[in-house]
A and B are shown apart, each in its own frame.
Chain A
Amino acid sequence: MTVTINDVVVILPFLVASGGALLIILLDSFSAPRTPRRFLGGFTIFFLAVAALSAYIVPLRTESAFHGMVMMDGLARFLSVVVMLSAGFATLLAMDRLPEQGSARGEFYALLLFSAAGASLLASAADLVMVFLGLETLSIPAYAMAAALRRDVRSTEAGFKYFVLGAFATGFFLMGTALVYSSVGSTALGRLAAASASGWTEKPLLCMGAVMLLVGLAFKAAVVPFHMWAPDVYDGSPTPATAYFATGIKAAAFAALLRVVILSLPGMRAEEINGNEIGWHYIFWGLAAATMAVSSLTALVQKDVKRILAYSSVAHVGYLLIGLLAGKPGGAAVLFYLLVYTFMTVGAFAVVAYLENSKGGTKLSDYAGIAKRHPYAAAAMAVFLFSLAGIPPTGGFFAKFYLFKAAVQGGLINLTVLGVLFSVVSAYYYLRIVVAMYMEQGENQAVIDISPSAAVVTAICLCLLFTIIIGLYPTPYLSVAQASASMLP
């Protein structure tokens, strides 16, 4: 039971991020009470960058470390980097959104680093115990981040809702783990794959356990019908936290879905018993269809930009679920999609944060005539929204294109048709924001412009750059995603 250096390097991203969080907590504790905390944001970005780099330096290994607890394969590496990216952008937004005395300023950065560390651990988990710990290390800081604006009732409410429903989901996941263990005799994902390979219909405990694992993860990924918390939480949380929830946590939840369902339960995909077709293929099919339909139709009637973006993020979960069903090319498309989705969603939330900094609201009516007062922000927002809608030549178009292509190759014609259909519906609610910004007259024409905040502007520019670059030249990013998904079945 010795620990070797080979073991330690596998969790290097986790170690860097959580070590950074420890340092930030100490720095925050020993800094003078009323001084600004922006410098902690700089530290946070530094540690996130080092963590992302370390994920790339660590050699890929197929065998697991720490007695089969974690491994660093392509999936772990790719999604760790996506999470660190998302957390880095959230830090940039937080540096301008959390200056207020009384809100959790220093703590926010530490919690963000802890959460990113947990997500990276989750991405490299090789055992259900590690998946659970990763999920919790990811979620518990997130609950506190949602409530970081302590004097804002809606932020507190968001934290509370996120916590209660998240804890409930964790309960499901734990119960599922216990049931799986009682059937398989191990929590190792490799053993789970072996045990579920055949004869699983005769193992009721395994089946119940698998369903409960699925429910727990579906909560975290905000899959319909387990999505009810998402709009309220995304709406009420401080916008930097929302940007992270909608991208980083989503990427981590899909890491867990890929690890626990796609890689560990391939045998339970589909089987015919007494003329009934059962297996998670059919469950996912229904979830994907429901997720796309419910979120797209609900988004149509929203009157708040943050809520529209929240429902949009749920809708993208629906598209991603299609990718999960489409085998290896589908897995690569999911990874590529998560990367592009991170840039465009964070970008959109960054514009929301930018306008919030200029004392604007987040209602659709507050966005009326924004293009006159903030022409650059409005243009950037338009690009992000076009990308989210999947209009060429943006990154979002290619992400959707590869996803649906993989789905058609995988024989998921009906789901693909549904996906394209609801993409068209989604274009309508994205365009509503664009129309409000460019075509409508704002009631409040008084320009209350503060000096543009460098950090938020940096975030917007970077996201814009990558959304456009990936749109114009997607090949290198796609090939990285394909290489990272090579071990998927």
Chain B
Amino acid sequence: MWADILFWVFAAAVIVLALAVITFKNPVNSAMALVADLFFVAALFVLVDAHFLAVIQILLYAGAVMVLFLFVIMLINQGPDELGRARRTFAKAVALILLFPLALVVLRVVENVSKGGGFLKVPSDYGTIEAVGRLVFGQYLLPFEVASVLLLAAIIGAVAIAKRRLW
């Protein structure tokens, strides 16, 4: 019962905040709305006992990734006059028209899924830290180790691009 109510509250918050992200004029406001949005997504993960993802959502996304977003926004630092322009009504109209068939497809999918053509059942401890850990250090060991190589490549790429004096 409680879980259902909380789900609808959190889900509504996620959607409202996501809309806020794309409608705010000021990118800093959008970023802040995204932070709040990610908190509610984390809450949704908690509702399905996916604790690890909830923690990641807050630590990595709401924390570190959003800091990076803000730095990039401040780095580019578009003034209000640059942000005020670019009302491409025509482009928006075309986008809306193109969105329509996609929305139909998504609606069909949702309809079909809610009729039971749907998602799989997973065990109740599916997303807990222990369960995720067993998967990461067991079945998904190779992806885990490859991720370290990927992160290293990202570190080198970031330094190679952004370091002011590189030798």
The answer to whether A and B touch directly, with their CB atoms under 8 angstroms apart, is yes
A interface residues with partner B (beta carbon < 8 Å): 1, 3, 11, 14, 18, 21-22, 25, 33-34, 66-67, 69-70, 101-104, 107-108, 110-111, 114-115, 117-118, 121, 129-130, 133-134, 136-137, 140-141, 143-144, 147-148, 150, 156, 159, 182, 185, 202-205, 208
Within 8 Å CB of B100, what residues of A? none
Asked whether B160 lies within 8 Å of A129 as measured between CB atoms, the reply is no
Do A104 and B160 contact each other (CB < 8 Å), given the known contacts A114-B153, A204-B109?
yes
Shortest C-beta distance, A218 to chain B (Å), equals: 17
| Interface membership of chain B positions 121-134, coded 1 if the CB is closer than 8 angstroms to chain A and 0 otherwise | 00000000000000
Please, how many angstroms separate the alpha-carbon atoms of A481 and B22 in the complex? Answer: 49
Our pick among A111, A121, A134, A204 for the contact of B153 (Cβ within 8 Å) is A111
Taking A1-B139, A22-B152, A104-B166 as given, write out 17 further A-B residue pairs in contact, using a Cβ cutoff of 8 Å, ordered by the A residue number. A1-B141, A21-B153, A66-B142, A67-B140, A69-B143, A114-B156, A130-B146, A134-B146, A144-B157, A144-B158, A147-B160, A147-B161, A156-B161, A182-B120, A202-B117, A204-B117, A208-B109
Do A133 and B160 contact each other (CB < 8 Å), given the known contacts A140-B154, A182-B119, A205-B109?
no
| Interface-central residue, B118, B138, B152, B156, by most chain A CB under 10 Å | B156
Shortest C-beta distance, B125 to chain A (Å), equals: 17
Within 8 Å CB of A182, what residues of B? 119-120
| Interface-central residue, A103, A108, A143, by most chain B CB under 10 Å | A143
Closest to A67 in B: B139
Asked whether B150 lies within 8 Å of A144 as measured between CB atoms, the reply is no
Within 8 Å CB of B141, what residues of A? 1, 3, 66-67
For residue B112, CB closer than 8 A to chain A, the reply is yes
| Interface-central residue, A67, A108, A111, by most chain B CB under 10 Å | A67
Asked whether B108 lies within 8 Å of A70 as measured between CB atoms, the reply is no
Within 8 Å CB of A101, what residues of B? 167
B interface residues with partner A (beta carbon < 8 Å): 105, 108-109, 112-113, 117-120, 137-143, 146-147, 149-150, 152-154, 156-161, 165-167
Within 8 Å CB of A11, what residues of B? 142
Our pick among A25, A33, A108 for the contact of B167 (Cβ within 8 Å) is A33
Within 8 Å CB of B112, what residues of A? 204
Closest to B146 in A: A133
Asked whether A110 lies within 8 Å of B120 as measured between CB atoms, the reply is no
Cβ-closest 9 pairs across A and B = A144-B157, A104-B160, A33-B167, A66-B142, A107-B160, A204-B109, A114-B153, A1-B138, A67-B139
Closest to B157 in A: A144
Asked whether B157 lies within 8 Å of A204 as measured between CB atoms, the reply is no
Asked whether B149 lies within 8 Å of A148 as measured between CB atoms, the reply is no
Q: Is chain A's interface secondary structure helix, strand, loop, or mixed overall? A: helix
Within 8 Å CB of A134, what residues of B? 146
Within 8 Å CB of B157, what residues of A? 107, 111, 140-141, 143-144
Within 8 Å CB of A140, what residues of B? 150, 153-154, 157
Asked whether B146 lies within 8 Å of A137 as measured between CB atoms, the reply is yes
Closest to B121 in A: A185
Please, how many angstroms separate the alpha-carbon atoms of A121 and B146 in the complex? Answer: 9
Our pick among A34, A133, A156 for the contact of B147 (Cβ within 8 Å) is A133
Asked whether B113 lies within 8 Å of A185 as measured between CB atoms, the reply is no
Our pick among A118, A144, A147 for the contact of B156 (Cβ within 8 Å) is A144
